[in-house]
Chain A
């Protein structure tokens, strides 16, 4: 397993454990992500990869271990936690756009309410972001009027509007129709090229090959392999990973 020195890590998980009742979903997880790195987390369902992703901004609590972002240990609750979350962008499988707000408001709400950006400035920045993800002309609509792919791109813009240090993607394309997956992946690939630090839980092996610096393979709550995409896809070391990849290739 390749792990960098925790010192230069932007996101760092040390000996993290979590249970759901009897089920040990995260087993002694150690993961360090440097600035600008794109880490793709893959693995069979139930392997704990989504929980890992959600634990990084404490949407899931952990029982022991330490998670730190940019050198700061994740606070338990309250104002510090809210501040830290503002620095961590999150994109969900089910988009979770605010259903009662327009597309533009979805993107400006965080900057205005959390960061105190003046509305005119927030609107301008939001429009630029919406243009960048290709949905600028949808700004006055409500989320339900957009397709899944468009909604997910808005969700990415909403996260980017907070100018996060790291972006977390929790299966961002799993709820999308096949023809919409690429429009979202294209935005993500672009983001990766621009140097954003990203942790991406996905089943899209094409994205992993194309954009990832590292692939982390999880099974049964453990990190089984941590390698470059090239290494992982051509020469997986563990039987568990070989088995997983063989199932992918046969379909």
Chain B
């Protein structure tokens, strides 16, 4: 127990870094994922094709590949970052967006087709039908899977620890190396701080879900 209390400042710093990585990547992934889902249902074949290929590649390859690409390949292509954190955010949001896109698309498919027909018949264009009628209903129905994806994102952010970003897991590894006699305690501490992020997300999910449910 002492090892946790003594290193509370480090844990806290790691916790904040993980929170930051997850929050920023989560927001970017939600936006990018929704755009990808919109592209997937758009009447433009090229957009549909792009979205499909993107989603299939990103969700079917390991997250580590996305990290390698962002941290090592992108700089070689001339895109360099002052901090590895930026690469981590790129990798995490690009990867998570693929899963969000699929969840949102399933939500879009769950909205009765009559909703879109009614919107089109009062003269709305594709963008208006999607943004005013379909997506607001679709997003409400996919809140549980979206939160699942965000919880996975919080945990996935630990991969950043292997890419020189000192977040919760990165500090945890340092502490475990420094306190060889208390590895279990150190890791329990790490797990506790992850739970501090993910459990409230789950609670938030059920609250929001109940609040925004649409009765038909």
Contact = CB atoms under 8 A, between A and B. Distances in A.
Q: Is the interface of B mostly helix, strand, loop or mixed?
A: helix
A99 B137 contact: yes
B117 A98 contact: no
B216 A99 contact: yes
Nearest to B111: A99
Interface in B31-77: 43
A105 to B, nearest CB: 10
B117 A113 contact: no
Interface string A69-103: 00000000111001111111110101011111000
B216 to A, nearest CB: 5
B149 to A, nearest CB: 22
B124 A96 contact: no
Contacts of B125: 78-79, 82
Contacts, number: 76
A110 interface: yes
A59 interface: yes
B121 A59 contact: yes
B197 to A, nearest CB: 30
B180 interface: no
A142 interface: yes
Interface of A: 57, 59, 77-79, 82-90, 92, 94, 96-100, 109-110, 113-115, 142, 144-145, 155, 158-159, 162
26 contacts: A59-B117, A59-B120, A82-B123, A84-B123, A85-B123, A86-B122, A90-B121, A90-B122, A92-B114, A92-B118, A94-B112, A96-B112, A96-B115, A98-B115, A98-B119, A99-B215, A100-B137, A100-B140, A110-B122, A110-B123, A110-B124, A113-B124, A113-B132, A114-B122, A159-B122, A162-B123
